Structure 1
Amino acid sequence: MFITAQFDSGNIEVIEANEPSAIQLAIRKDNESDFYQWFHFKLYAEPGVEHVMTITNAGKSAYPDGWKDYSALASYDRETWFRVPTEYNGKELVIRHSPDQESVYYAYFTPYSYERHMDLIQWAQQSIECEHVLLGPTLDGRDMNLLVVGEPADHKAKIWITARQHPGESMAEWFMEGFLSRLLDDEDGAARKLLETCVFYIVPNMNPDGSVRGHLRTNAAGVNLNREWAEPSLEKSPEVYYVLNAMQETGVDFYLDVHGDEALPYNFLAGCEGVPSYNDKTHQLGEQFKQVLLSITPEFQTQYGYEIDKPGEANLTVASNAVSERFNCLAFTLEMPFKDNANLPDVDFGWSANRSQQFGADVLSAIYGIANSLRS
């Protein structure tokens, strides 16, 4: 028996692994930070034997409510990820699994590797509609990639979509893959029509360093990027610094920041009601977007979500609020679950990479539904 996390996005510390029935583990904190919750490790084991893996520090993680009704994911081939029996006792997370094969991977959610991220960027730039822009290097020296889809023109609406500011929220990049697959499909009528009147600026991964390091919430310097949008810096948050500068050059008519929520088992939107510039036009446009999305997919709902900010009380260090106020535009944070969609549960897979991809494709239809109103 052997456990390792020495690979892209790996995260686990082995406390004890002498007996299959008593494996003791701990999740490593983000670098220079107290955040932790993401785990991803590989077990070499005897097939057919139940392995009981206890994550001893789960109760003190960033979002302990996220463990309630949660089931860990496992995979033999790193392609198909399925849920395995998992219990939370208020202090420890216990994963029980009898592997069918000699080695198996476990993760908090289906990983989206940096290798796949690079493949996504190179695939996208093959499209005649897509320009690949290098914004600059991260603190660890990785690329900050921007995909510009559509021919820029003054009359076109500028739509910005960013994902994975929090690297452990890997469902956000699966969403982006689904969105891009449809946007770059030259036989998709909605995509073709949208590109006549809109140009898309897409950052599939805002935090590549944290993604590779196996972080939950921060970049290489231990900084939560979604609290840096008031005054980003090259020293602490170059990722936000580059993107915000690019936004200044293009302008923004609609902004979507894609995330995952540890605790709530639903897909939902958090709006910008609390920013000083919020007005009736923004409200009506936002309601229109929600209604279109509700009509497209049962995966979306509006009953559950975050508490709405009171007027003038929005946190302007948060991306969607900061962008909405700076550019006087409609902006949302889109959240997906780590667990499952409680309104449409799937006992085997829960909320999954495939469902995230499909949701990304569906959101393109919702943007199509409001596109003509963005600049009116």
Structure 2
Amino acid sequence: MKYALLLLALVSNLAIADQCQSDKLSIHKNFAMGRFNTCEVSAAGHYRLTLKPENLPINPSPWYALRLESSQAQQIELELLVEHGKPRYLPKVSVDKQHWQPVDYQIDGSSMHIQLALPKGTLWLAGQEIMDDEDYQQWQQQLEAKGLESIVLGQSVQGKPIEGLISRADSQDWLIMIGRQHPPEITGAMAMTHFVDEVMEESAQAMALRKRFNVLLVPNMNPDGVHAGNWRHNVGGVDLNRDWFSRAQPETQAVHSYLQKILADGGKIRFALDFHSTHRDVFYTMPTDYGLTPPELVDNWLAQLAEAIKPYPVNIKPGHNKDRGVFKQYIADTYGVHAVTYEVGDNTDRQDIANVARAAAQQLMDVLKTLP
């Protein structure tokens, strides 16, 4: 009876909203990328959090991020219960939201169980490292210090700026790189930062590329969805990487309008990359016989990359999706040039991400210099 009354008291202290509150612990989501839907005390020291998608139908990638404020050192168990999907992202913890370590977990159907030894104070737990708008702003400032021009291409559904960065050249040729169409895909975002940093180095190779090609970067295509911790969509409920032909969303409209302006000003789109995450490293390419010129450009690039990083595998999956509205198909069909979707595994070693991305940038710069 005494235990039942104690449990009832714990539950009565619980707020099923932006935080989960008991006498010794509060669990919060009131920060950028913070995400869970409901929280309840299932027993003393046991907390069940539900994870629900922003809308349906959806390609399920259940994201979660929470901040735990503990009044004392204690042991707890978290159950993350996924609705409309199964757990994908493996839990990591941080005391400063900058340095992350994996923690043990068990998956049982749609639930993930995590045993945590909480210190007194603050602990962050998330499905991947948190990379939010503040991180992008810091990176953008570093690139601006190297001479890149910051522009606003348009606004998101909620009015946030769709920001771009431009490295200008003495030519009409353009390279396009975009990222973060899908909010939780952190490893793809990591790869983009390493890739771009290599392109912006002061090496002879990088400086020659920047002299020949203008470069447009759009690091965060989905600022609303990233801030909200969405699983997949923008706040309009749409997968942006299915919206490139219909362009029903302001985010895709903004980038398309700028690319059309490049053409109207006499420019030429010559190559494009979009960065993503999935269950393994893979490069989604357009088929060699699709009619793009030169047809072997991407084959040559990835063959050189495979040689440069062997025995690390380079997985290549050619294909076209005329009816799906994906970015690489849009680039190929609208501008008649190669585009590649650069996918990084969710659990790929972080140093491998950096090494492969920098090597990929080096080999692509080498291949692009052969373009007429």
TM-score of the superposed pair, with normalisation by structure 1? 0.82
CA positional deviation for 1:238: 1.0
CA positional deviation for 1:289: 1.3
- Counterpart code for 1:244: H
- For 2:150, the equivalent position in structure 1 comes to 132
- For 1:226, the equivalent position in structure 2 comes to 241
Aligned mate of 2:198, from 177, 182, 187: 182
- For 2:163, the equivalent position in structure 1 comes to 145
Distance 2:27 2:212 in 1: 52
Q: What pairs with 1:34-73 in structure 2 (closer than 5 Å)?
A: 37-45=62-70, 49-57=74-82, 60-61=84-85, 64=86, 67=88, 71-73=90-92
Q: What pairs with 1:292-371 in structure 2 (closer than 5 Å)?
A: 292-297=304-309, 301-303=313-315, 308-309=318-319, 314-340=322-348, 351-352=349-350, 355-371=352-368
Q: Can you list the C-alpha shifts for 1:177-233, whole angstroms capped at 9, x where unaligned?
A: 2233333333x2321121122221111111111111111211121111001111213
CA positional deviation for 1:268: 1.2
Distance 1:44 1:136 in 2: 38
Which SS does the other structure have where 1:56 is aligned?
strand
The structure number with the bigger radius of gyration is 2
- Counterpart code for 1:325: D
- For 1:345, the equivalent position in structure 2 comes to none
Conservation of the 8 A alpha-carbon contact between 1:15 and 1:25? yes
Conservation of the 8 A alpha-carbon contact between 1:268 and 1:300? no
- For 2:3, the equivalent position in structure 1 comes to none
- Counterpart code for 1:151: A
CA positional deviation for 1:298: 5.2
- For 1:24, the equivalent position in structure 2 comes to 48
- Counterpart code for 1:166: H
Conservation of the 8 A alpha-carbon contact between 1:268 and 1:335? yes
Q: Can you list the C-alpha shifts for 1:237-295, whole angstroms capped at 9, x where unaligned?
A: 1111111122223332111110011xx2x211011229xx8138554211111112223
Which SS does the other structure have where 1:290 is aligned?
helix
Conservation of the 8 A alpha-carbon contact between 2:81 and 2:110? yes
- For 1:291, the equivalent position in structure 2 comes to 303
Aligned mate of 1:252, from 269, 275, 293: 269
Distance 2:365 2:321 in 1: 31
Conservation of the 8 A alpha-carbon contact between 1:73 and 1:81? yes
- For 1:199, the equivalent position in structure 2 comes to 214
Check 1:241–1:105 CA distance in 2 against 1; reply closer, same or farther (3 A cut).
Answer: same
- For 1:344, the equivalent position in structure 2 comes to none
Distance 1:282 1:106 in 2: 47
Which SS does the other structure have where 1:365 is aligned?
helix
Which SS does the other structure have where 1:94 is aligned?
strand
Paired residue total: 342
Which SS does the other structure have where 2:158 is aligned?
coil
CA positional deviation for 1:137: 1.6
Distance 1:135 1:4 in 2: 33
CA positional deviation for 1:20: 6.0
CA positional deviation for 1:47: 5.9
Aligned mate of 2:121, from 80, 102, 105: 102
- For 1:161, the equivalent position in structure 2 comes to 177
- For 1:239, the equivalent position in structure 2 comes to 251
- For 2:135, the equivalent position in structure 1 comes to 116
- Counterpart code for 2:105: T
Distance 1:302 1:356 in 2: 12
- Counterpart code for 1:178: H
Q: How large is the Cα RMSD of the aligned pairs?
A: 2.6
- Counterpart code for 2:205: A
Conservation of the 8 A alpha-carbon contact between 1:293 and 1:300? no
Task: Indicate the structure with greater strand content.
Answer: 2
- For 1:81, the equivalent position in structure 2 comes to 100
- For 1:212, the equivalent position in structure 2 comes to 227
Q: Between the two proteins, what is the percent identity of the paired residues?
A: 19
CA positional deviation for 1:372: 1.9
Distance 1:208 1:87 in 2: 32
Check 1:98–1:185 CA distance in 2 against 1; reply closer, same or farther (3 A cut).
Answer: same
The answer for unaligned runs of 5 or more in structure 2 is: 1-24, 263-267
TM-score of the superposed pair, with normalisation by structure 2? 0.83
Runs of 4+ in 1 over 6 A off after TM superposition: none
- For 2:26, the equivalent position in structure 1 comes to 2
Aligned mate of 1:172, from 175, 188, 194: 188
Q: Can you list the C-alpha shifts for 1:29-62, whole angstroms capped at 9, x where unaligned?
A: 226765551111111236653322111126x32x
Distance 1:271 1:259 in 2: 13
